[in-house]
A and B are shown apart, each in its own frame.
Chain A
Amino acid sequence: MAASPNGHDYRVIGTRPVRHDGIEKVTGQAKYGADYNFPGMLYGKILRSPYAHAIIKSIKVDKAAALPGVKAVITANDLPALPDKMEQAGEMALNMSHLSANIMARDKVLYDGHAVAAVAATSPHIAEEALRLIEVDYEVLPPVMSVEEAMKPDAPILLPGLRNKEEGPDKPTNVATHLQFKRGDVNEGFKQADYVVEREFKTAMVHQGYIEPHNAVGIYNPDGHATIYCSTQGSFVVRSLSAAVLGMPEGNIKVVPAEIGGGFGGKTTIYLEPLSVLLSKKTGHPVKLTMSRAEVLRATGPTSGSTIRCKMGCSKDGKLLAAQIWMAYEAGAFPGSPVGAGAMTIVAPYNIPNLLIDAYDVVVNRPKTAAYRAPGASNAAMASETIIDELAEKCGIDPCDFRIMNGAREGTPQTAGPPYRRIGYIETVEAIKNSPHYKSKLEGPNRGRGVASGFWFNVGLQSSAIVNIHTDGTASVVIGSVDIGGTRAAQAMIAAEVLGLDVNDVRPLVTDTDSIGHTDVTGGSRTAFATGWAVYEAAQDVVRQLKERAAKLWEKKPEEVSFANGLFTAQGDGIKPMTIKELAGRLARTGGPISGRATVNARGVGPAFATTVIDVEVDPDTGKVQILRATVAQDVGKAIHPSYVEGQMQGGTAQGIGWALNEEYFYDERGILRNTGLLDYRMPTCLDLPMIETCIVEVPTPGHPLGIRGVGEVSIVPPPAAVANAIAHAVGVRMTELPMSPPRVLKALLSKRTRAEAQAAAAGS
């Protein structure tokens, strides 16, 4: 039995069963979105803007429509115009006109790859040919590619209607929001500080890089209903947003979530889904749309590039006294960068008495950003965590000890003010400090070791679950959370734990939007936490009902029946304890079938912390950085299936290393994306990485029945800073730009050499 940190012994939780959907996925039988085909299905393709910023003067589609095999051509005129204000769509609030204009440009194109028209034809090749026949007349405008350019007073304006509170209702602007967080008095804090470090950081726009491109099959019924099959992190989000964009009642759309080939936040919004429905409506056939890799990179949501100025000060003995931060994030073409999250995470692991953070959300002629694993936190931590490392170095304190000294604990105020409840930050630093990796010696020239920490909020939100008991005593668990990497297994394990069943006697099912209550996205590290909570309660509901049935059989009161270790018992002569399997056979005669159900709007979410140590070797001739060893410690609350928890920690670390070393959106001066393939958008391969060691830290979330904390995101936060710190210790240069690709590292090394030579020459003369 696995002992739990909150004093329970678990039978199933904490073990490593084979996932229930595994066989389908290793035999090629699992159906991902692009694998759905229907009789009479047509193929859709999308025409995309070749300019970063232009006015659409006209679109002529007649030649394309006349091509044999072409069944429909649509433009933004086929979609309803929506109001330019924040609106509620299901459980989400967003600006519907922006959402719609991102899916299909209306008057202006705002980035290279922005959709302008779509075609449905009998084959994908014919659809592609038809795109070439669509004539679009553009008036090209100057592109605005960086936050610096966009914030200039005379910058070209992307969205004529955009205003912010500070500049007032009459001033068009590219700055959508300015947020400020303030505590104490930073000037006073810096006055008291013995050491102050201030640097400016720039981080590149990067993509989630899921291997499966976006896809959708839309089937419109003449009665006004539609079904969408697609790979998404949130079928209910697809439903409500597609309904809004199409002007259809939400209940008229059913979304069937296919298996999903990675998302990392990027599949929490819509691109193709409403277009597939509209094309289906126009043609009377099912229509499948899939993106190419170039379309994914050009036109789906990456995460923001950023500019961050960060100044921090501490006393000689290492007490952090003040931090002042200015940060501006690229939102892409429409407002909504994760800069607020960036601001609230950047110093979240620390107790700093004086704090001033100014954060700006800025629109630029790049694709509208979408969520990416702990959105906004990794680039923020690149700034703060490298400065922490420098301060520790100046004080002569071990970087782990420096973090433990200043680390956030229960009661420490968070950036936005509320105090932390029980958290496990310090425990993650201690786990790294005590790890075999950190205790080992790193020897050899040009090698260095770096430590960094990261924070992510995690979210709760809404989930629904149903647990059915079958007549043979097995159970099924029905959820609306798509399985992006072990969700089914984890949910089945929770139900099996509560019901006292073998995990293989519980079948987990992910179902469509008509078959289960509202369930928010698989994202925000919420699924094990919130959907797990709903499954736990639904299974408890089953137990309660089964107790009533046992009571009936034994002519007892339900409260006289107890349930433990898979057995129902009661005091009394001739009462033989019964298992669920035994009881299941008696359901018909005791009142009929049993299904347990529960819904949650989960409160008390526990934030997650991770601390990572990375060893690197820098090639002084090329600037190439090789990762030698990496270990990540993360507070997971309670690991349901440790293998998949480790997998999240390892996967996030690998993505963070890619962000650190190679990945970047590379735009030319006209604002055209130049690296639209996976050869040039360089994600880590298995040759680039070592094994990734993991330390699972379990500090249970108070209030959650199983103590779960979300595990999906925070491991991506520390790596960029950890790698930068390792480079600093290897070769003595402090990197302030991401990615730390060979040319950038080499440039830093050369300028360090030039400086050293100049100094030597000056000393010699």
Chain B
Amino acid sequence: MATVIIPAQLRKLTGGKDRVKAKGRNVRQLIEDLDRQFPGFSEQLLQDGDVKPSIAVSIDGEMGTGGVLEPVGEDSEVFFLPALGGGRENPGG
């Protein structure tokens, strides 16, 4: 099972826990499993069936480019973090 590190603002969903285990071969399945364990995750992370534009997914230290289709490994470490500029901005100068 993958380890998911929960960002500060979502820890209320996990009862304050900052790391939880979840299973799934890609980000979609992982979020589905998180939502089963801690209802509310899907709503926080997904919009129109994909990862919200304001959120980035890092898997084993690498920023995913595939949204919900990004593969997740058996022992992966998965972080959900704010996308640069909250997705409203272009990524940089």
A residues adjacent to B (C-beta < 8 A): 86, 88, 92-95, 177, 179-182, 208, 234, 237, 263-266, 268-269, 335-338, 340-341, 344, 361, 370-376, 416-421, 456-461, 520-521, 523-526, 601-605, 712-713
Partner of A340 from B18, B52, B58, B82 at Cβ < 8 Å: B82
On whether the beta carbons of B93 and A264 are closer than 8 Å, the reply is yes
**18 A-B pairs in the complex with CB atoms less than 8 angstroms apart:** A86-B52, A86-B53, A93-B53, A93-B87, A95-B88, A179-B86, A180-B8, A265-B90, A340-B82, A344-B81, A344-B82, A372-B93, A374-B93, A416-B58, A416-B81, A417-B5, A712-B93, A713-B92
Range of interface residues on B (Cβ < 8 Å): 20 to 34
Scoring B residues 57 to 93 as 1 if CB is less than 8 Å from chain A, else 0, what string do you get?
0100111010000000000010101111111111111
Interface pairs A-B: 5 shortest CB-CB: A265-B93, A93-B53, A524-B92, A373-B93, A336-B88
On whether the beta carbons of A523 and B88 are closer than 8 Å, the reply is no
Question: In the assembled complex, which residues on chain B have CB atoms less than 8 Å from the CB atom of A376?
Answer: 85
On whether the beta carbons of A361 and B58 are closer than 8 Å, the reply is no
Question: In the assembled complex, which residues on chain A have CB atoms less than 8 Å from the CB atom of B18?
Answer: 182
Question: In the assembled complex, which residues on chain A have CB atoms less than 8 Å from the CB atom of B92?
Answer: 265, 371, 373-375, 456-459, 523-526, 713
Question: In the assembled complex, which residues on chain A have CB atoms less than 8 Å from the CB atom of B58?
Answer: 416-418
B29 at the interface (CB under 8 A from A): no
On whether the beta carbons of B53 and A524 are closer than 8 Å, the reply is no
Name B9's closest neighbour in chain A (CB-CB): A180
Given contacts A269-B90, A418-B58, A713-B92, contact A375 B81 (CB under 8 A): no
B12 to A: closest C-beta gap in Å: 11
Partner of A459 from B7, B9, B79, B84 at Cβ < 8 Å: B84
On whether the beta carbons of A338 and B89 are closer than 8 Å, the reply is yes
Measured in the bound complex, the distance between the Cα atoms of B82 and A196 in whole Å is: 29
Partner of A336 from B47, B61, B86 at Cβ < 8 Å: B86
On whether the beta carbons of A524 and B91 are closer than 8 Å, the reply is yes
On whether the beta carbons of B90 and A523 are closer than 8 Å, the reply is yes
**Residue picked from B53, B79, B84, most chain A C-beta under 10 Å:** B84
Measured in the bound complex, the distance between the Cα atoms of B79 and A344 in whole Å is: 14
Measured in the bound complex, the distance between the Cα atoms of B54 and A268 in whole Å is: 18
Measured in the bound complex, the distance between the Cα atoms of B86 and A371 in whole Å is: 12
Name A181's closest neighbour in chain B (CB-CB): B8
Given contacts A86-B87, A601-B65, contact A375 B93 (CB under 8 A): yes
On whether the beta carbons of B90 and A419 are closer than 8 Å, the reply is no
On whether the beta carbons of A419 and B93 are closer than 8 Å, the reply is no
**Residue picked from B8, B58, B93, most chain A C-beta under 10 Å:** B93
Apart from A92-B90, A93-B88, A375-B93, list 16 A-B contacts with CB within 8 A.
A86-B47, A94-B88, A179-B82, A180-B9, A181-B7, A182-B8, A263-B93, A335-B86, A336-B88, A341-B84, A361-B86, A371-B89, A417-B58, A417-B79, A523-B91, A526-B91
B11 to A: closest C-beta gap in Å: 8
Question: In the assembled complex, which residues on chain B have CB atoms less than 8 Å from the CB atom of A336?
Answer: 85-86, 88-89
Measured in the bound complex, the distance between the Cα atoms of B90 and A524 in whole Å is: 8
Partner of A93 from B9, B54, B65, B81 at Cβ < 8 Å: B54
A522 to B: closest C-beta gap in Å: 10
Partner of B61 from A264, A266, A419, A459 at Cβ < 8 Å: A419
A625 to B: closest C-beta gap in Å: 25
On whether the beta carbons of B53 and A460 are closer than 8 Å, the reply is no
A179 to B: closest C-beta gap in Å: 6
On whether the beta carbons of B93 and A340 are closer than 8 Å, the reply is no
Question: In the assembled complex, which residues on chain A have CB atoms less than 8 Å from the CB atom of B81?
Answer: 344, 416-418
Question: In the assembled complex, which residues on chain B have CB atoms less than 8 Å from the CB atom of A604?
Answer: 62
Question: In the assembled complex, which residues on chain B have CB atoms less than 8 Å from the CB atom of A94?
Answer: 87-89
Measured in the bound complex, the distance between the Cα atoms of B91 and A416 in whole Å is: 17
On whether the beta carbons of B62 and A340 are closer than 8 Å, the reply is no
Name B48's closest neighbour in chain A (CB-CB): A88
Q: Tell me the chain B residues, 1-37 only, with Cβ under 8 Å from chain A.
A: 5, 7-9, 18
Question: In the assembled complex, which residues on chain B have CB atoms less than 8 Å from the CB atom of A602?
Answer: 65
Partner of A335 from B47, B63, B88 at Cβ < 8 Å: B88
Given contacts A180-B8, A208-B93, A237-B90, contact A338 B62 (CB under 8 A): no
Partner of A416 from B7, B52, B77, B86 at Cβ < 8 Å: B7
Question: In the assembled complex, which residues on chain B have CB atoms less than 8 Å from the CB atom of A605?
Answer: 63
On whether the beta carbons of A418 and B61 are closer than 8 Å, the reply is yes
Question: In the assembled complex, which residues on chain B have CB atoms less than 8 Å from the CB atom of A420?
Answer: 61
Name A182's closest neighbour in chain B (CB-CB): B8
Measured in the bound complex, the distance between the Cα atoms of B88 and A338 in whole Å is: 9
Measured in the bound complex, the distance between the Cα atoms of B8 and A694 in whole Å is: 39
Measured in the bound complex, the distance between the Cα atoms of B92 and A341 in whole Å is: 10
Question: In the assembled complex, which residues on chain B have CB atoms less than 8 Å from the CB atom of A264?
Answer: 93
A760 to B: closest C-beta gap in Å: 48
Measured in the bound complex, the distance between the Cα atoms of B23 and A449 in whole Å is: 53
Question: In the assembled complex, which residues on chain B have CB atoms less than 8 Å from the CB atom of A523?
Answer: 90-93
Question: In the assembled complex, which residues on chain A have CB atoms less than 8 Å from the CB atom of B90?
Answer: 92, 234, 237, 265, 268-269, 370-371, 521, 523-524
Question: In the assembled complex, which residues on chain A have CB atoms less than 8 Å from the CB atom of B52?
Answer: 86
Question: In the assembled complex, which residues on chain A have CB atoms less than 8 Å from the CB atom of B79?
Answer: 416-418
Question: In the assembled complex, which residues on chain A have CB atoms less than 8 Å from the CB atom of B82?
Answer: 179, 340, 344, 416
